[in-house]
Structure 1
Amino acid sequence: MEPDLIIGSTVGADATVDSYDQLSEIAPTIMLDYGAHTWEDLAVTLGEATGAEDGVQVALDDFEAYVDEAAASLTLPGQTATALAYNGADGGGVFSAESSQAAILIGLGFDYVVGPEDLADQVRSDVSFFTAENLPAALANPEVVFVIAGGDEQADSLVNDPLLANTPAVANGQVYATGPTSFRIDYYSGKQMIDAIVAGLGGE
């Protein structure tokens, strides 16, 4: 394919960091940790690498305005919130405070909270994974839980999980789906996540 630039990931199922030396022999190669950095940070890095800084800034400004407009339309059901990838009997992953999901929730006016890492089964730069037994402790503080990469059916499954019945968000009916594209956030999926949240919270 004779690429001019190769972009790889250092985290997740698509990680290619072990192949860096091999890829670098083909073309200049950049490895990105898209778990520990927001999509905005990654966009700036890629804009600099490709000479597209002006286009990146336009996208960033547009997205910031989109977040601000959405925030103005919302009445928050609670102040503290977390983003969770719910896996039923296998527990779930709470996204880090540095994640793009957290950045969106903070931009919408929430105070973002994470679970206790000492109870996590696995800690990555973007997500801390908790077993089903420890997930109630991970969700003991947020008043609102947003289910990442899930629709209403997955949110309903979380609400009906007997282990989570006494967590604040479940007990008060403040669990919301963020749609199937919200696991990895970019300019487009970020807007889709915001739209799902606004729809779920009854915003305009």
Structure 2
Amino acid sequence: MAGTGFRVFSGTVALLLSLVFASHAFAEGWPRKVITSHGTVTLEHMPQRIVSTSVTVTGTLLAINAPVVASGATAPNSRIADSQGFFRQWGDVAKQRGVQRLYIGEPNAEAIAGQAPDLIIIAATGGDSALKLYDQLSAIAPVMVVSYDDKSWQELATELGQATGKEADAARVITQFSARETSLKSALDLPPQPVSALVFSTDGKSANLWTAVSPQGKLLEQLGFTLAQVPPDFAASYSQGKRHDIIQLAGEKMPEAMNGQTLLLFSAHQADTQRLLTNSFLAQLPAVQSQRVYAMGDDTFRLDYYSASNMLDQLEKLFVTH
């Protein structure tokens, strides 16, 4: 009987402890529901093993100290990516934290499952989207679908912070960046406005123009830049209707849409500005004739805390008189 009494006592204690922990979890916001474009996802506890299928989103997750264990990657050893295929602006941080590479390019459900994630994050659009595997991945762990083409990296960080319990970390890194941004804005000697912000193709035959809702466009406007308006008929060129951050330009349409008094080239360095300046097709542009073409850096194709900070450094070099 004594043994039975002890077991009952032990069981009661265990139940009480579980209730205490459960009430603590609810007090801290767990379980919590996350609303996504693919429905509401319920997270029973704060994620401990996050897998990011989007190499673009991974940088923001790292910036808010989310527990990322593995990430999708892009082609390694390029201008934008290190030997792992991780973006150079945060590749060292990923290495320090032991983030594993899932795959290069094409998403792989088996590799994702092998990481035993308790949260899987998918980009809704872009070349690093694994949306086609949504149903398959949902059987492995809760799946959160996020968009990065219609918001600033700060907005994305806030969204991810709320989902992962890293609200305080997200607020901290945003505050730090905002202070730097405010300081820089007051010191900038802006070039002639408005500006066209774009990614110029290596063959010089096409370009992607950043819109006002893109992270790049948002950051420029926050700093006091004015984005040049494109002719109304270009609205139909929004990346086949799937993305909001770019307008695709090609051939004879390029000069008409690249109408800013200054051109800011993203995913670009100094050699790329010379390539555009010597492009005969664009020779009549006011910005080209006045030599107002500036590179924002190789790592600005996708903005996160790390690349956006590097972009502030570059803008300071270009437009602040010391």
Q: TM-score, normalised by structure 1?
A: 0.93
Alignment correspondent of 1:135? 254
User: Which of 48, 63, 66 in structure 1 is aligned with 2:177?
Assistant: 63
Counterparts of 1:159 and 1:177, CA distance in 2: 12
Q: Establish whether residue 148 from structure 1 lines up as the match of residue 266 from structure 2.
A: yes
Identity of aligned residues (%): 33
Counterparts of 2:146 and 2:229, CA distance in 1: 23
Q: Please state how far the C-alpha of 1:165 moved relative to its aligned partner.
A: 1.5
For residue 159 of structure 2, give the secondary structure of its aligned residue in structure 1: helix
Q: Establish whether residue 21 from structure 1 lines up as the match of residue 135 from structure 2.
A: yes
> Structure 1 stretches of 5 or more lacking a match?
none
Counterparts of 1:32 and 1:203, CA distance in 2: 39
Checking the alignment, whether the CA contact within 8 Å between 2:238 and 2:244 is kept in structure 1 is no
Counterparts of 1:203 and 1:55, CA distance in 2: 33
Q: Please state how far the C-alpha of 1:2 moved relative to its aligned partner.
A: 0.9
Q: Establish whether residue 157 from structure 1 lines up as the match of residue 275 from structure 2.
A: yes
Counterparts of 1:14 and 1:90, CA distance in 2: 24
Q: Please state how far the C-alpha of 1:132 moved relative to its aligned partner.
A: 2.7
Alignment correspondent of 1:50? 164
Q: Bigger CA drift: 70-79 or 142-151? A: 70-79
Checking the alignment, whether the CA contact within 8 Å between 1:4 and 1:27 is kept in structure 2 is yes
User: Which of 143, 152, 174 in structure 1 is aligned with 2:292?
Assistant: 174
Q: Please state how far the C-alpha of 1:160 moved relative to its aligned partner.
A: 1.2
Alignment correspondent of 2:95? none
Q: TM-score, normalised by structure 2?
A: 0.60
Q: Please state how far the C-alpha of 1:117 moved relative to its aligned partner.
A: 5.8
Q: Which amino acid aligns with 1:62?
A: Q
Describe the superposition over 1:67-124 as per-residue Cα deviations: whole angstroms up to 9, x where unpaired: 1111122111112112100014331000111111111211221112243362465533
Checking the alignment, whether the CA contact within 8 Å between 1:93 and 1:130 is kept in structure 2 is yes
Pairwise CA RMSD: 1.6
Counterparts of 1:114 and 1:40, CA distance in 2: 24
Q: Establish whether residue 106 from structure 1 lines up as the match of residue 221 from structure 2.
A: yes
Paired positions, count: 203
Q: Which amino acid aligns with 2:304?
A: D
> Structure 2 stretches of 5 or more lacking a match?
1-114
Describe the superposition over 1:146-183 as per-residue Cα deviations: whole angstroms up to 9, x where unpaired: 10000001111111111111212212221100001101
Counterparts of 1:18 and 1:117, CA distance in 2: 33
Describe the superposition over 1:11-40 as per-residue Cα deviations: whole angstroms up to 9, x where unpaired: 111111121111111111111111112111
Counterparts of 2:193 and 2:238, CA distance in 1: 27
- Over alpha carbons, which structure has the higher Rg? 2
Counterparts of 1:182 and 1:157, CA distance in 2: 18
Q: Establish whether residue 96 from structure 1 lines up as the match of residue 211 from structure 2.
A: yes
Checking the alignment, whether the CA contact within 8 Å between 1:82 and 1:102 is kept in structure 2 is no
For residue 83 of structure 1, give the secondary structure of its aligned residue in structure 2: strand
For residue 157 of structure 1, give the secondary structure of its aligned residue in structure 2: helix
Q: Which amino acid aligns with 2:252?
A: E
Name the structure, 1 or 2, with higher relative contact order (CA <8 Å, separation 6+): 1
